[in-house]
């Protein structure tokens, strides 16, 4: 193939005229983009001096058609989460309830009374409905919701403590992930970081010292969320901090992160919105962690403080969109009515249920490839219950590497993890109907084997 040079590449119009592309039924712009991708790839290789065999015009047209089809598919797609990580940030955290999904679809496809008061015919508040539900569920005086919890923390510090010294334990100067580091957010908000205590131990007297000396004019408590300090440790509880804050007449601000609403499938002593909310001036947390709703940052607390946050111009820049509001309202209604919130149901599944689910799936897949139900360990994820392994059940498949890649590339990608030479599909995080998706993919796998 000595004649593989740039000048021997087929022309664009010749490629576009091939039946594989011309009769593909795809729009012209996509056919052209697909052809361009294929030709560009060859041009690039030739310019780089690689040895390239230029395929036939028909073969190139087929490649171009496949490229065009790939371009036609949406980039953001449904995947099957078989990782066992319930709140997987890379996979969109919380899958929402049917009620929430329907509320989103309604809000998306039509107009709504988003900021319109139907009883007066005048302008209304976009967050009023979720605020009422949040107050009812948490017992807080006032509530507000913004775009995510990072925004809630930023709003809280920017509005309440600009230029002020804010005391925080050295054990709570955490990085949450995705470059959200408490010291950086504080700096950006204009608050002055006043570190107290040590990484493993902070006492009430450490906070008291900086309040007494006038170095700090507010207290911040952050739930370290995604890690756990064990061993020789000490931290100051929210109630004690609240009493200290009251004594010095300074606010106590809390970033709870995970947002457990009352008792649930987490340890007894796990900090809840109610517990921290009863003591602090303001508590913020995520909508899509243990609450099981959409991405959102929720703030609950004292009336006067929350009203300051709501009316600040920054709140407008961080506001929640209508789809998230619809989903948040529906999720809060699920909580109020005792309806199943999918992430909670997943966290609550018993070993017996998980085992049955895994054995059922293994039986379904057995005719297609070697597999067995095995015990495994997942996690809550989203930085919510660090150090708490979630004992679970999975289906173990072989050959691990090849299957992992095949299932990841499936039209509805199926994501598991490899452990000791087997591909494990943890059944805890499988949603209804996904067994069938896995079966379909494995049937295709089997069919493609020599």
Ligand X SMILES: *Cc1c(COP(=O)(O)O)cnc(C)c1O
Question: Which is nearer to ligand X, 10 or 95 (by Cβ)?
Answer: 95
Judged by CB under 6 A, which stretch of 63-71, 255-263, 270-278, 421-429 contacts ligand X? 255-263
Retrieve residue 419's tokens: 């452990």
Q: 390: part of which helix (H) or strand (E)?
A: strand 389-397
Q: Of how many residues is the chain composed?
A: 450
Interface with ligand X includes 251 (CB under 6 A)? no
Spatial contact of 67 and 37, defined as CB atoms under 8 Å apart? yes
Interface with ligand X includes 257 (CB under 6 A)? yes
CA distance 263 to 276: 13
Query: Within 13 Å, how many C-alpha atoms sit on residue 258's CB side?
Result: 27
Question: Which is nearer to ligand X, 258 or 437 (by Cβ)?
Answer: 258
Nearest to 115 by CA among 106, 104, 127: 127
Retrieve residue 303's tokens: 């009336």
Q: Please report which residue ranges of 73-196 form alpha helices under DSSP H.
A: 98-109, 128-138, 149-160, 182-189
Spatial contact of 294 and 327, defined as CB atoms under 8 Å apart? yes
List 83, 158, 225, 429, residue binding ligand X (CB under 6 A) = 225
Question: Which is nearer to ligand X, 222 or 242 (by Cβ)?
Answer: 222
List 235, 255, 404, 435, residue binding ligand X (CB under 6 A) = 255
DSSP 8-31: GSPPHHHHHHSHHHHTS---HHHH
List 66, 91, 180, 240, residue binding ligand X (CB under 6 A) = 180
List 9, 21, 30, 176, residue binding ligand X (CB under 6 A) = 176
Question: Which is nearer to ligand X, 147 or 376 (by Cβ)?
Answer: 147
Interface with ligand X includes 292 (CB under 6 A)? no
Question: Which is nearer to ligand X, 28 or 227 (by Cβ)?
Answer: 227
CB of 430 to ligand X, least distance (A): 24
Residues facing residue 87 across a β-bridge: 381
Interface with ligand X includes 270 (CB under 6 A)? no
Residues 6 or more apart in contact with residue 15 via CB below 8 angstroms: 21, 35, 38, 39, 57, 60, 61, 64
CB of 256 to ligand X, least distance (A): 7
Question: Which is nearer to ligand X, 38 or 196 (by Cβ)?
Answer: 196
CB of 388 to ligand X, least distance (A): 15
Question: Which is nearer to ligand X, 87 or 395 (by Cβ)?
Answer: 87
Please classify residue 321 by burial: count the beta carbons closer than 10 Å to its beta carbon, then call 0-12 exposed, 13-18 middle and 19+ buried.
middle
Size of the site for ligand X (CB under 6 A): 15
Binding mask 123-162 for ligand X (x = CB under 6 A): -------------------------xxx--x---------
Residues 6 or more apart in contact with residue 58 via CB below 8 angstroms: 18, 20
Within the chain, what is the greatest distance between any pair of CA atoms?
86
CB of 151 to ligand X, least distance (A): 7
Question: Which is nearer to ligand X, 10 or 301 (by Cβ)?
Answer: 301
Residue with the shortest CB distance to ligand X:
257
Spatial contact of 426 and 394, defined as CB atoms under 8 Å apart? yes
Residues 6 or more apart in contact with residue 81 via CB below 8 angstroms: 88, 91, 95, 415, 429, 430
Residue holding tokens 């319930």? 86
Interface with ligand X includes 222 (CB under 6 A)? yes
Interface with ligand X includes 286 (CB under 6 A)? yes
Question: Which is nearer to ligand X, 129 or 289 (by Cβ)?
Answer: 289
CB of 259 to ligand X, least distance (A): 8
List 258, 324, 376, 392, residue binding ligand X (CB under 6 A) = 258
Query: Within 13 Å, how many C-alpha atoms sit on residue 109's CB side?
Result: 6
Question: Which is nearer to ligand X, 148 or 324 (by Cβ)?
Answer: 148
CA distance 276 to 135: 14
Question: Which is nearer to ligand X, 99 or 223 (by Cβ)?
Answer: 223
Judged by CB under 6 A, which stretch of 47-55, 111-119, 237-245, 251-259 contacts ligand X? 251-259
Interface with ligand X includes 223 (CB under 6 A)? yes
CA distances from 183 to 75, 175, 443 (A): 35, 9, 51
Retrieve residue 326's tokens: 């619809």
List 383, 403, 434, 442, residue binding ligand X (CB under 6 A) = 383
Footprint on residues 31-90 left by ligand X (CB under 6 A): none
Nearest to 113 by CA among 330, 328, 334, 325: 325
CB of 394 to ligand X, least distance (A): 27
Q: Which residues bind ligand X (CB under 6 A)?
A: 148-150, 153, 176, 180, 222-223, 225, 255, 257-258, 286, 297, 383
């Amino acid at each position: 193939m000595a004649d593989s040079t740039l000048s021997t590449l087929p022309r664009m119009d010749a490629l576009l005229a091939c039946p594989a592309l011309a009769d593909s039924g795809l729009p012209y712009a996509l056919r052209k983009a697909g052809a361009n991708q294929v030709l560009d790839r060859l041009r690039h290789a030739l310019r780089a001096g690689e040895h390239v065999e230029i395929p036939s015009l028909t073969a190139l047209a087929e490649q171009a058609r496949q490229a065009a089809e790939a371009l036609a598919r949406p980039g953001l797609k449904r995947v099957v989460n078989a990782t066992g990580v319930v709140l997987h940030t890379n996979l969109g955290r919380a899958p929402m309830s049917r009620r929430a999904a329907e509320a989103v679809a309604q809000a998306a496809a039509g107009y709504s009374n988003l900021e319109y008061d139907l009883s007066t015919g005048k302008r209304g508040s976009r967050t009023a409905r979720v605020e009422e539900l949040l107050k009812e569920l948490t017992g807080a005086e006032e509530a507000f919701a913004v775009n995510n919890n990072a925004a809630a923390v930023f709003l809280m510090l920017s509005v309440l403590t600009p230029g002020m010294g804010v005391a925080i334990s050295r054990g709570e100067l955490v990085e949450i992930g995705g470059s959200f580091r408490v010291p950086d957010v504080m700096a950006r908000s204009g608050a002055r970081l006043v570190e107290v205590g040590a990484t493993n131990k902070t006492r009430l007297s450490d906070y008291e010292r900086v309040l007494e000396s006038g170095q700090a004019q507010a207290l911040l408590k952050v739930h370290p969320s995604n890690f756990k300090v064990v061993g020789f440790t000490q931290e100051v509880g929210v109630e004690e901090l609240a009493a200290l804050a009251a004594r010095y007449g300074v606010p106590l601000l809390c970033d709870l992160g995970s947002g457990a609403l009352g008792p649930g499938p987490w340890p007894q002593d796990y900090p809840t919105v109610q517990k921290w909310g009863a003591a602090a001036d303001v508590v913020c947390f995520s909508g899509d962690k243990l609450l099981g709703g959409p991405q959102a940052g929720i703030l609950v607390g004292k009336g006067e403080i929350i009203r300051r946050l709501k009316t600040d111009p920054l709140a407008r820049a961080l506001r929640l969109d209508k789809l998230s509001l619809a989903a948040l309202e529906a999720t809060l209604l699920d909580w109020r009515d005792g309806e199943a919130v999918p992430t909670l149901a997943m966290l609550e599944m018993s070993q017996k249920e998980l085992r049955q689910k895994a054995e059922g799936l293994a039986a379904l897949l057995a005719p297609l490839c070697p597999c067995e139900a095995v015990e495994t360990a997942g996690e809550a994820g989203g930085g919510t219950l660090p150090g708490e392994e979630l004992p679970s059940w999975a289906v173990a498949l072989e050959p691990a590497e090849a299957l992992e890649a095949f299932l990841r590339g499936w039209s509805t990608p199926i994501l598991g993890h490899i452990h000791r030479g087997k591909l494990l599909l943890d059944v805890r995080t499988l949603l209804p109907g996904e067994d069938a998706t896995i079966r379909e993919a494995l049937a295709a796998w089997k069919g493609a084997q020599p």
